[in-house]
Amino acid sequence: MDIVRLSRLQFAVTASFHFIFVPLTLGLSILVAYMETRYLRTGDEMYRRMTRFWGRLFLINFALGVVTGITMEFQFGMNWAEFSRYVGDIFGTPLAIEATVAFFLESTFIGLWVFGWNRVSKRLHAASIWLVAIATNLSALWILLANGWMQRPVGYVLRNNRVEMADFMAMLTNTYGWLKFFHTVFSGYVLAAFFVMSVSAYHLLKKNNPQFFKASFRMAAAFGLISSLLVFIVGDFHAAEVAKTQPTKFAAMESVWDTQKAATYYLLIIPDPGNERNAVETIGIPRLLSLLAFHNGDAEVKGLKEFPKKDRPPVIATFLSFRTMIALGMLFILLTLMAYIISRKDRLESSTAFLRIMLYALPLPYLATQLGWIVAEVGRQPWIVYGLLRTSDAVSKSITPLQVMVSLIGFTLVYGLLVIMYIYLLSRFAKMGPDDELQAIIKPSGI
Amino acid sequence: MEFQILWFILWGVLWAVYFMLDGFDLGIGMLESFLGRNDAEKRVIINTIGPVWGGNEVWLITAAGATFAAFPTTYALMFSYLYSVLLLILFALIFRGVALEFRGKVDSETWKRGGDIAIFLGSLIPAMLFGVAFANIFQGLPMDAGGYHGTLLSLLNPYGLLTGVLFVLLFILHGALWLTSKTDGEISKRASIVADKSWYLLLIIAVLFLIYTASTTNLYANFLQSYIWLIVPVLAVVSLIGIRFFAARGQYLKAFYSSCLTIVMVIFSAVIGLYPNLVPSRTDPDYSLTIFNSSSSIYTLKIMTVVAVIFMPIVVAYQIWTYRVFRNRLSINDVLKDKESY
């Protein structure tokens, strides 16, 4: 394999691993902060136990999000030196701002929160987890403004043989970046809600601490319902933004080959990229595709044939990821709505079938977030910066395939080990339940 | 003042503060297994950095981020040329972070021993390799019209390794001083002995480093041109002696502050010596990466300046404040009764 392929694969591996941890951090930080606020307001001991229990799971996840994040920042220079040199004048700025404005805040106050239970006032302690929650979300904003710029480059000029920033405000107000930000953080909230509901369902099925886990479930169900609706609404605007600014990606997402007005949306499509057509196209809803793309049923949707082959993204991966993500998004609305109603009516304990579904539904939001990134990143190909720089021109000139092969294997092994430890610790602590009095330290059984 | 110079200074400050802060974390990581005779003692040792090491490590992220934003060409070439070294540093820092967080989470001998090894290697390797990386930058990298001609092995040259050892000793001393003033009883006493002994070793290595630097790098040229800057390396030497001065009187906290100053002045000396280069070329000076030929546009530097001027003082303020919150000495009892500790 060549350096470009290896580097892409490495970026995909490290980014996917990193994004196992990020969405849970985004959402769970808010839930834990809310729990601690409830404790502060009501003095109810249950909320303190909730803060501790969910907070402990949050921390296991948080640690891995942080250590795998450093890799992302270093890799731009290590593997994508030509990209960094060419667009660093504009792309480096949001990354540096993220570290300065968000990451310091997050890392400093998480230390205060973990070790500060008996050292700072209750109010300050609750404030510090809120600062962590705000900082992680702020961190996401800067990263996604950076990614949004790669998707839709704005506010730049070509000068001195590179891309230079001409208008910082243009990058800051890039609609693409903001839509991506909201879509991503809301999907993180959905994932966190499913996480809390899944763990709660486990305990409710076992009849452990029903009071505690019903309250947790109820909180997560409301959070999840609002968030899954928001993901969906923002997602619609996001897709429309893609149709407007990245026509090749949109055509691949929907597997549209021929440019057409008042385009039909087909529920079932089997793409046939070899022959530049769809092998199967059935159950059509007239004008829906134009409506989704441009919020206008008569609008023209560009097909892939409109563009030279060298400018088209891989269709199958983009199309299937997008369709599956949409289906999952709808399922999440349905499940969170049911969760909300059942928990409001206080029928959770008797709804064992539903609890079992929620217990095993946990991998689905993880899958959906990964698929979302596949749509975003594979769909942008062959560009690393849409319309400006090709991925094949962005890779470092000084590295060798052997170096990247070794680092790719290294990352795969190290991250594989991390994920094994992560699942082990998370599931053991999740199963243990909320009673810190029973001592939080795991007694290993048979390792 | 030109914005490139301003950002060069800030770049130096970010690295200096990173080494000053994470330096003692790395030192603690290298000492933990040797100074802790049992699990409780080891926990005390790593808990002295528990609340702060994460915030310290962000200075590295920010130093890298600032390099990217202010000197993108340097960021691109330096990071791709030093690929293998940075990869090893990354893996080491990942293991250190995970081990610090997870070591205490499972009550098993094997798990904890694994954690101790990860903390040790995860601290030793970055300390050593940051030294190697910076030494090679001091010497200049072999880069010219034909690109980059170095390998991992060429980076591990004698000067690189000597500087690596220098960094390791600096951080061991720094960590030992931190530990002496943050703990009490036996651990504090043992740490003070390490601090006392490692100082002499550091002195020998530092003298060797200064001599070797004269023969293999161009770092002294700027100082010989305008003597005024000699104040910085002189302060580095004075504060290094200050460490011994205070330690001999049992004032280990002052010795620690002295050690902070030493690290900052060492980095500043190197940065002044490099000016106007960020990464000189050993083979063709025309291909040196300077703060002028590798910087961002003035517009970008201005934006970044506004961000830094507003936010860096806030960051410094809340970080100092958290250090004050956790200023007390830790004893074994504190750690054993605190369920949230490592």
Query: pLDDT of A368-412, one tens digit each?
Result: 999 999 999 999 999 999 999 999 999 999 999 999 999 999 999
Short-list B12, B7, B57, B11, CA closest to B264? B12
Phi, psi of A385 (to 5 degrees): -120, 115
**What 3-state DSSP class applies to A154?**
coil
Residues of chain A numbered 104-143 and touching chain B (CB < 8 Å): 104-105, 107-112, 114-120
Q: How many domains does chain B have?
A: 1
**What 3-state DSSP class applies to A257?**
coil
Q: How, if at all, do strands A265-272 and A277-285 pair?
A: antiparallel
In a domain, B342, yes or no: no
* C-alpha distance from A32 to closest chain B C-alpha (Å): 16
**B176-220 per-position pLDDT tens digit:** 999 999 999 899 999 999 999 999 999 999 999 999 999 999 999
For residue B9, give every residue at least 6 positions away whose Cβ sits within 8 Å of its Cβ, in sequence order, or none: none
C-alpha distances (whole Å) from A62 to each of A67, A68, A111, A304, B66 are 9, 10, 12, 41, 24
**B278-322 per-position pLDDT tens digit:** 999 999 999 999 999 999 999 999 999 999 999 999 999 999 999
Q: Exposed, middle or buried: residue B312 (CB in 10 Å: 0-12, 13-18, 19+)?
A: middle
Judge whether A93 and B69 are in contact, CB under 8 Å.
yes
- Partners of residue A165 on adjacent β-strands: A156
Q: How far apart are CA A54 and CA A433, in angstroms?
A: 10
In a domain, B154, yes or no: yes
* Structural domain range at position B34: 3-337
Q: Which position has the token pair 């690596």?
A: B164
Contacts of B75 in chain A (CB under 8 A): 76-77, 84, 88, 92
Q: How far apart are CA A290 and CA A240, in angstroms?
A: 10
* C-alpha distance from A188 to closest chain B C-alpha (Å): 23
Contacts of B65 in chain A (CB under 8 A): 73, 92, 95-96, 98-100
For residue A26, give every residue at least 6 positions away whose Cβ sits within 8 Å of its Cβ, in sequence order, or none: A136, A137, A140, A184, A185, A188, A189, A192
| pLDDT at residue A443, rounded to an integer | 46
Interchain contact, B86 vs A74, CB within 8 Å: yes
Q: Which of A20-24, A361-365, B69-73, B146-150 is the least confident region?
A: B146-150
Q: Which position has the token pair 């307001």?
A: A41
| pLDDT at residue B335, rounded to an integer | 80
C-alpha distances (whole Å) from A324 to each of A131, A371, B14 are 35, 8, 45
Show pLDDT as tens, one digit a residue, over chain A (447 residues). 799 999 999 999 999 999 999 999 999 999 999 999 999 999 999 999 999 999 999 999 998 998 998 999 999 999 999 999 999 999 999 999 999 999 999 999 999 999 988 889 999 999 999 999 999 999 999 999 999 999 999 999 999 899 999 999 999 999 999 999 999 999 999 999 999 999 999 999 999 999 999 999 999 999 999 999 999 999 999 999 999 999 999 999 999 999 999 999 999 999 999 999 999 998 989 999 999 999 998 999 999 999 999 999 999 999 999 999 999 999 999 999 999 999 999 998 899 999 999 999 999 999 999 999 999 999 999 999 999 999 999 999 999 999 999 999 999 999 999 999 999 999 999 998 887 544 444 444 433
Q: How, if at all, do strands A260-261 and B289-290 pair?
A: unpaired
Interchain contact, B90 vs A70, CB within 8 Å: yes
| pLDDT at residue B331, rounded to an integer | 83
| pLDDT at residue A445, rounded to an integer | 43
**Tell me, what's the ipTM?**
0.92
Alpha-carbon B161 to chain mean position: 16
pLDDT at B169 exceeding the cut of 50: yes
Interchain contact, B77 vs A398, CB within 8 Å: yes
| pLDDT at residue A436, rounded to an integer | 54
Nearest residue on chain A to B80, alpha-carbon basis: A78
* C-alpha distance from A29 to closest chain B C-alpha (Å): 17
In a domain, B179, yes or no: yes
- Three-state secondary structure along B270-323? HHHHHCCEEECECCCHHHCEECCCCCCCHHHHHHHHHHHHHHHHHHHHHHHHHH
Judge whether A182 and A356 are in contact, CB under 8 Å.
no
Whether A59 has its CB under 8 Å from any CB of chain B: the answer is yes
Contacts of B325 in chain A (CB under 8 A): 112, 116, 119-120
Confidence band of B1 (pLDDT split at 50, 70, 90): low
Short-list B323, B203, B210, CA closest to B269? B210
Rounded to 10 deg, the angle between the B3-35 and B252-274 helix axes is: 140
Interface test with A, best of B300, B316, B327 (most A CBs within 10 A): B300
Mean pLDDT of the residues in chain B:
94
